[in-house]
Amino acid sequence: MSYESNRSQKSCKREKHCSFLSRAPSKQKPIQFFAETTPSLEKRTNRSVQNAEIKLAGYFAEHNIPFLASDHLTDLLKEIFPDSDIAKLMSMKRTKTTAIIKNVIGATQKNEL
């Protein structure tokens, strides 16, 4: 504390700077102030979108459906379920489907072996 007050006295050479220092809050907010206690709706929705994309990719892999079909399926789901926030936020083409199967589902299955 003494270092901060000594430092502010040294840097307070001009009136404008002193007025800014006097208006600045003296105490910092506790770190818990910035931490969220409950997940926000946006985070929960994003998690739901990720889960839906992983499940769809798993469906494609399990039933040997060409990944090219995922290019059209997400657009179709948006049309079928216009009121669904999850369907609106889904964006899964064949590249993402392949990446999810290789990097998420494949890595998980490899760890289970």
Same domain, 46 and 99: yes
Same domain, 50 and 103: yes
| pTM, to two decimals | 0.62
Q: CA-to-CA distance for 33 and 43, rounded, in angstroms?
A: 19
Same domain, 46 and 96: yes
Report residue 2's pLDDT band, with 50, 70 and 90 as the boundaries. very low
Same domain, 25 and 55: no
- Give CA 40 to chain center in angstroms: 11
Same domain, 49 and 29: no
Range of the domain at 14: 2-33
The answer to whether 21 touches 12, Cβ cutoff 8 Å, is yes
Same domain, 54 and 23: no
Q: Token digits for 93?
A: 């083409």
**Per-residue pLDDT at 109:** 86
Report residue 38's pLDDT band, with 50, 70 and 90 as the boundaries. low
**What's the domain count of the chain?**
2
